[in-house]
Amino acid sequence: MRIGIIREGKVPPDTRVPLSPKQCAYIMDKYPIEIWIQPSDNRCFKNEEYENEGIVLTERMSDCDVLMGVKEVPIQNLIEDKTYFFFSHTIKKQVYNRELLQAIVDKNIRMVDYEVLRKDGKRVIAFGRWAGIVGAHNALWTYGQRTKAFELPRMSAFESFNDVKDFYSQHLKLPLVKIVLTGTGRVGKGSAEVLDAMGFRRVKPREFLIETFDEPVYTQLICRNYAGRIDESLFNKSEFYKNPELFKSTFEPYTKVADIMINGIYWDNAAPQFFTKSEMKQTDFKIKVIADVTCDIAPVASIPSTLYATTIAEPVFGYNPETEQAEEPYQVHTIDMMTIDNLPNELPRDASESFGKQFINHVIEELLDRENSEVMRNARITKNGDLTAKFEYLRNYLEE
């Protein structure tokens, strides 16, 4: 098998890679696999680092069996009749990528989305931890920019996460601030990791709501803390996941006491929003910074003020609750929205090496046995010029 690592074509370009140079060398040494790499001046690992590990540098991606990238591949760059791995951002019927999915089908591409590579129902490969790490850091950076109460460099200014943690321990002086963090998966755990490293004290949700603190604190919510049955019956987590439309938001008390919200949940389109635009207009809505790591775009989103995804270059916009429009950030009347959709790209080498390790541990042998692998079958969105049976629910979305 020959794997080609493609150049990232989405604008702005992502600097992450699915496999580091040393990981490519390891795979070629252990498995009957050859890896080629398409040259790029934007990667966090230089072309020479791959060449030094014996990786072929070439534009001839059409000679590869499997093509791997990170973000969505521009339609004009897709090669017919190939197997692709990348994050397609289509499985939730994202309107902005409908034409991409249509082109994938038209070009008879076998599309494997990293997001649906699962074993025993659990994802086996993701950048989630790093999205949470960078998202939490950026939440505090945004709050610092807004209040001028402390100095915090962007995470992209550091070489590694270890350097970031050294800065926290030696230089970071936090004011009294209260953070509500949603989600306990990879993103939530990554965010909590940063808040712990910064020196926040973690408190229980009830304490967070009713007590006064003389130090910076955060609380981490599970779904029963922010959602309840519409009919007021007892909360059941399995039912919430299965039938989220039967539930309503119970998040409102946190909007009255938190300064910052970090959103790290996986959101179902049928689930309730945390709050409404009308609630954001209320004078007792205290949250002034929202770091939406989930970054579903409104109106189909858990945060109604996530109007668009921001970029690493321009990470924040101000949301005016009265006009419901985006404005310049850091104004008294706005809520500052940090909605970067490729957060791990601020620590690209750490994130890429972590991702590649997951690919080696959980995916590479499934790929070699792809015709018999249940993991691969369940992750293919398209095959033979059509949707696979598992993703037939995308039919209306595809054909609109």
- Tens digit of each residue's pLDDT (9 = 90 or more) over 192-215: 999 999 999 999 999 999 999 999
Q: Tens digits of per-residue pLDDT, 319-377?
A: 999 999 999 999 999 999 999 999 999 999 999 999 999 999 999 999 999 889 999 99
Same domain membership, residue 109 and residue 87: yes
pLDDT at 8 over 90: yes
Averaged pLDDT for residues 232-253:
96
Confidence of residue 13 (pLDDT cuts 50, 70, 90): confident
Residue pair 100/88 in contact (Cβ under 8 Å)? The answer is: yes
Same domain membership, residue 341 and residue 225: yes
d(CA 290, CA 222): 18
Residue pair 209/181 in contact (Cβ under 8 Å)? The answer is: no
Same domain membership, residue 188 and residue 57: no
Averaged pLDDT for residues 230-241:
96
d(CA 143, CA 214): 18
Same domain membership, residue 265 and residue 152: yes
pLDDT at 380 over 90: yes
pLDDT for 250 equals: 97
Of 346, 368, 389, the residue at which a domain comes to its end is 346
CATH assignment of the domain containing 132? 3.40.50.720
pLDDT for 12 equals: 83
Give the mean pLDDT of the chain: 96
User: What's the token pair of residue 239?
Assistant: 């039912």
pLDDT for 387 equals: 97
Same domain membership, residue 239 and residue 138: yes
pLDDT for 19 equals: 98
**Amino acid sitting at position 307:** L
**DSSP code of residue 309:** -
pLDDT for 262 equals: 98
pLDDT for 145 equals: 98
Same domain membership, residue 355 and residue 335: no
pLDDT at 400 over 90: no
Residue 274 DSSP SS3: coil
**DSSP code of residue 356:** H
User: What's the token pair of residue 16?
Assistant: 């992450």
pLDDT at 111 over 90: yes
pLDDT for 2 equals: 97
Same domain membership, residue 352 and residue 330: no
Q: Tens digits of per-residue pLDDT, 118-140?
A: 998 899 999 999 999 999 999 99
Same domain membership, residue 162 and residue 145: yes
Averaged pLDDT for residues 281-288:
98
Angle between helices 186-198 and 161-171 (to 10 degrees): 40
Same domain membership, residue 110 and residue 52: yes
Same domain membership, residue 291 and residue 369: no
Same domain membership, residue 159 and residue 264: yes
Phi and psi torsions of 254, nearest 5°: -75, -25
pLDDT for 277 equals: 97
Query: What is the C-alpha end-to-end distance of the chain, expressed in Å?
Result: 36
Q: Give how many domains the chain has, as a whole number.
A: 2
User: What's the token pair of residue 397?
Assistant: 């979305």
Same domain membership, residue 180 and residue 81: no
pLDDT for 371 equals: 85
pLDDT at 11 over 90: no
Is the Cα dihedral 326, 322, 96, 246 positive or negative?
Answer: positive
Boundaries of domain holding 235: 128-346
Residue pair 160/169 in contact (Cβ under 8 Å)? The answer is: no
**Max CA distance (Å), the chain:** 64
Of 305, 320, 346, the residue at which a domain comes to its end is 346
Of 330, 346, 362, the residue at which a domain comes to its end is 346
My answer on whether omega of the bond before 299 falls inside 30° of 0, hence cis, is: yes
Residue pair 54/28 in contact (Cβ under 8 Å)? The answer is: yes
**Residue appearing with tokens 């408190």:** 203
